[in-house]
């Protein structure tokens, strides 16, 4: 780390922490309709943080669900561009009785921040926002940077695909930095070079409309549970390679 970066960080450490704690206090639970206004409040807070960190522009962009927040700092269109992805929504905090402290009242214990969203994903993307601030305030920018902070990751990002498809030019970048991953340990910072997505399918297997005696029908009429088990097992071969055509 450059000494000038470290000096700026240490000088502003208390402010950085307090700003993050304020962000964690917003109950941005995307799965519950009663938190719709909190989602908008959090989106506004993210936009504000991006502008204060040095983005040339930041805006809240509508989707068919909760809005996404976009920001950018372009120093030279000819230089490489990094796109930072993260999300400001969090999981529902229930069961509340299992929390030592209220989930939206951040608590610091042994140097660690405990609150809903502190590790998924407000803490992560906030780190990159503050990294941008350090770079802009110390005149250290060497690449362009864009941010896409969405509000529906915890419910499966149902509108992200459509949003990206509609904003390809806006989101165009040379590399994507996902601020929603993990590292090996506190002593070993880690860099993931790739992640896999998820694919959801629903399979319905229909069998007989009543119990069939195995002495009469056994072997002649397949048990739906057996067929479903065979279907699932056939997705991998004996070497655990995926057998679905076109699946990488």
Query: Both tokens of residue 119?
Result: 């590790």
Residues labelled catalytic: 89, 153
Burial of 12 (0-12, 13-18, 19+ CB in 10 A): middle
Element (H, E) at 114: strand 112-114
3-state DSSP of 116-164: CCCCCCHHHHHHHHHHHHHHHHCCCCCCEEEEEEECCHHHCCCCHHHHH
| Closest by CA position to 23, among listed 72, 108, 89 | 89
């Amino acid at each position: 780390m450059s000494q000038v970066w470290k000096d700026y960080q240490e000088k502003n450490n208390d402010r950085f922490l307090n700003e993050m704690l304020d962000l964690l206090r917003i109950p941005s639970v995307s799965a519950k309709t009663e938190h719709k206004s909190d989602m908008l409040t959090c989106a506004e807070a993210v936009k504000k943080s991006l502008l204060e960190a040095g983005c040339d522009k930041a805006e809240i962009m509508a989707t068919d669900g909760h809005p996404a927040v976009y920001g950018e700092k372009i120093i030279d269109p000819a230089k490489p561009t990094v796109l930072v992805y993260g999300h400001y929504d969090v999981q529902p905090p229930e069961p509340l009785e299992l929390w030592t402290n209220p989930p939206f009242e951040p608590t610091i214990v042994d140097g660690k921040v405990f609150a809903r969203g502190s590790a998924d994903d407000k803490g992560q993307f906030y780190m990159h926002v503050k990294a941008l601030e350090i770079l802009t305030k110390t005149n250290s920018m060497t690449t362009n940077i864009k941010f896409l902070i969405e509000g529906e990751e915890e419910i499966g990002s149902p509108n992200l695909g459509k949003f990206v498809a509609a904003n390809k030019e806006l989101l165009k970048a040379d590399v994507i930095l996902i601020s929603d991953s993990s590292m090996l340990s506190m002593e070993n910072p880690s860099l993931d070079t790739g992640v896999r997505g998820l694919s959801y399918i629903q399979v319905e297997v229909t069998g007989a409309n009543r119990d069939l005696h195995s002495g009469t029908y056994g072997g002649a009429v397949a048990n739906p549970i057996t067929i479903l088990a065979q279907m699932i097992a056939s997705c991998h071969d004996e070497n655990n390679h995926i057998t679905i055509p076109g699946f990488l």
